[in-house]
Structures are given as structure tokens and as C-alpha cells.
Structure 1
Amino acid sequence: MPVAPAGFHPPGRALLRASLAALLLVSTLLAGCESLSPAECATADWRQLGVQDGSRGRTDRIASYYESCAKAGIAVNAAVYRAGRNQGLQSYCQPANALNEGLAGNSYEGVCPAPMDQNFRNIHGIAWREQDARKTLARLLRQQDQMQAELRDSKTTEDRRRTLRDDLSRSDRRIEEARYAVRDASYQLDRLRSDMRQRGQY
């Protein structure tokens, strides 16, 4: 989740209160909550919050912020927030970031402007499929190891052993398919990286 803005900095005790509110906002947003408390609304730097949301590829959250702050009678500056978010999106929507986000297994929420969206989707999709193929292969190998360990266990019944042998046979086929998927996805990723280097995007 986005890191919260620090807000304005009044002198004296007001500065302490603002700092504490900012820290609370950070922890709240990092915990996955999109709403703001009255204190957070009062100290929010709407432009910086927009920049943070945009640079992390988050959707427009002004409706959620408005709902939270309206309860406390605090106005939300939607125009300033959205200007900041658009600024953040310019950073997020770069090709190199699309690659990194895909390889990290992070989803894409379709937030990039039209001129950048399709390229971001293409790059992100290739990178995401590569990491997903590797995770799938790793999961299948772990499952196979567990089945083999159970098969070797002297406490395993004969009926269970027959089931395990059948499952292992099917597992071998799935693993072979997963290895092929990894090879194909890695090939596509290598081609993508080479093309991005030639374009000066990576």
C-alpha cells in the first residue's frame, strides 16, 4: 500500500501532533486500509498522497478518502490528489517498471494512460508469466517430494501406496509440462529484455 504523506509542519506542539498523525497514516496504509481517520484527513498532503498512489500503480482512491474525511467534516482536494496521482503514474508506467512488477508477481490494475497502457500490459504479461511458470514448477516439485516421502514411509498402507504411485505418474507429466512452460516463458522474457535494451528501456 502507499506510504502516507507527512502533511504540513506547524511549529511546537502542533508539529508533534502532525508527526504522530503522519506516522499513524503510514501504518494504516501499510496495513492495507484505504480509509483515513479524522486526524489523518486533517494533516494529509493530497498531492503527495496522489503521487504515492500513482507511483505504486494504485487505482484512484479519492472516493474512499472523501467518504472517510466527510464524516469528520474535512474537505478533500480531489483535483490536487489527481494531479499528484497522474504525476506518480508517469513514474509507475515506465517499461522497466512493468518488467519489475511482472517479475515480482504484482498484478496490474490497468491504471496507465492510454498511450502507455498497452505496452505496459505486454511487458508486464510476459514477465508475470515467467515468474508464474517458475512458481508452478516449484509447487509441483514440492508436492512430488511430499508424495515420495509418504511412499517411502513404512507406516503408509498398501492402498495409499497404490494411490500415490498413480498420483506420482500424473505428477511426472505435469512437471514435464511445467518445465516446458518455464523454458518457453524464459525464452520470451529473454527476447523481451533484449528488445528493451535495444530501445533503451532496460
Structure 2
Amino acid sequence: MMNARTFFTPARLIRRCLILLALLAAPLVVSACASMSEDECRVADWQRTGYADGAAGEDQDTIASYTSDCAKAGVRPDAKAWRAGWDQGIKTYCTPARGWEEGVDGNSWKSDVCRGQPQGAAFERALRDGLKVSETRRDIQNNDFRINELERKLQKAQKDDERRSLRDQIRNLDRQQSTLRDLLSRQEKLKP
């Protein structure tokens, strides 16, 4: 039988919190997939909608979901007007600065949307650089968590060998943190 200490370990609490967050976020994700209501389909300015989608970094397949959504209302989207708007909007999205932002936010799936655009290659380079920053920040955060966990264990440790081992692990992680922070500083200088 589990006692309260075993049941409420930090790892279990984090896992339970992540599961709870996923359950709470599911309705939001599902509703985000419904791109347009029947009323919106009837009054849509397709060129403006295309521009907004392009400027938000939505891909060219977005029109297909509008076609599906609007079919229920008996409305056929003006794909030509949408595409003309999207072509203009995507140019405002596909910049190195936006690629950097998407990368830092960890949005690796955005790499294809700018392919073939005038600044597509620069967007992708900045996205890759931003993703490296995101990964380094995540590594720093994970190490911080591990250090805190080891420090809690150190406070409870009763044997000298165990305390020594925990201190060595903490020192090793501190060195890693220093290296990661130096790396992060260099990576952040690549911001366009």
C-alpha cells in the first residue's frame, strides 16, 4: 500500500497536473479546429480572411477547412480572393523576426509555411536559431528542477556517502547550467 509521501512525489504531481491541463485544454483545441461558423461563411470577405490567415502564418490548406465548414451553410468560399489575400498576408508573416519568435516559442511546425516565399530561407534560418534557444531554455529549466529535487534529497540524507554523492550531482548540474547559460547568451545574440 502507498503512503502519502510515496503517492505525492514531485514527478507524480507534475504528471497529474499535465494530464489535468491536457483534459482542460482539449475543448479549446477542438473548438480551434472549427474554422468558421455558418453565419461567418455567409458574410466573409474572403480576401480579408485570406490576408489574416497569411499574416497569422496559416498554411495554404486553410481554405480547404473553410470549404468544408461553409458547405454546411451552402456557401462556397471564393478561393481565388482568399488566395490573393493570403499571398499578401504571408509576406508580412515570413520575416526573420517572426521566424525567430516562432522558434523561441517552440513552434517547429511553422517551418514549411514560408517555403517558396521571398524571405522564406531567412525565416527558416531564424526559426531554427529560435528553436535552439527554446531547447536550451528547456534544458536550463529541467536542470533547475533536477537541482531543486537533489537539494531536497540532500536535506533529508542521513549518510555521508549519500550527501557527498548528492553534492557532486548538484555541482555537476551547476556546471552544466553555467555552460547552458553561456550558450543561451550566444544564441540570443542571433536574434534578427
TM over 0.5: yes
Contact 2:41 2:75 (8 Å CA) reproduced: yes
Correspondences of 1:8-47 after superposition (within 5 Å): 32-47=32-47
The aligned residue for residue 98 of structure 2 is 97
**How much does 1:168 deviate?**
7.0
Q: Which amino acid aligns with 2:122?
A: N
Of residues 122, 126, 130 in structure 1, which corresponds to 2:129?
126
Contact 2:42 2:73 (8 Å CA) reproduced: no
SS of residue matched to 2:128: helix
Q: Relative to 1, partners in 2 of residues 1:42 and 1:175: Cα closer, same or farther, differing over 3 Å? A: farther
Q: Which amino acid aligns with 2:52?
A: Q
Of residues 136, 160, 169 in structure 1, which corresponds to 2:139?
136
SS of residue matched to 1:57: coil
| 2:114 pairs with 1:112 | yes
Percent identity reads: 29
TM-score between the two structures when normalised by the length of structure 1 = 0.65
Deviation digits for residues 56-104 of structure 1, max 9, x if unmatched? 1111201111011112211111111111111111101122222233333
Equivalent pairs, count: 161
Worse-matched range after superposition: 33-42 or 46-55: 33-42
- Structure 2 residue runs without a partner (length 5+): 1-27
The aligned residue for residue 186 of structure 1 is 185
Correspondences of 1:31-70 after superposition (within 5 Å): 32-60=32-60, 61-70=62-71
Contact 1:137 1:175 (8 Å CA) reproduced: no
Contact 1:130 1:186 (8 Å CA) reproduced: no
CA RMSD of aligned residues (A): 3.1
Task: Find the aligned partners of 2:100 and 2:93 in 1 and give their Cα distance.
Answer: 11
Task: Find the aligned partners of 2:67 and 2:88 in 1 and give their Cα distance.
Answer: 20
Of residues 139, 152, 155 in structure 2, which corresponds to 1:152?
155
Q: Which amino acid aligns with 1:118?
A: A
Q: Relative to 1, partners in 2 of residues 1:106 and 1:150: Cα closer, same or farther, differing over 3 Å? A: same
Task: Find the aligned partners of 1:168 and 1:84 in 2 and give their Cα distance.
Answer: 60
Q: Relative to 1, partners in 2 of residues 1:166 and 1:70: Cα closer, same or farther, differing over 3 Å? A: farther
Q: Relative to 1, partners in 2 of residues 1:166 and 1:110: Cα closer, same or farther, differing over 3 Å? A: farther
Q: Relative to 1, partners in 2 of residues 1:179 and 1:56: Cα closer, same or farther, differing over 3 Å? A: farther
SS of residue matched to 1:180: helix
Q: Relative to 1, partners in 2 of residues 1:49 and 1:170: Cα closer, same or farther, differing over 3 Å? A: farther
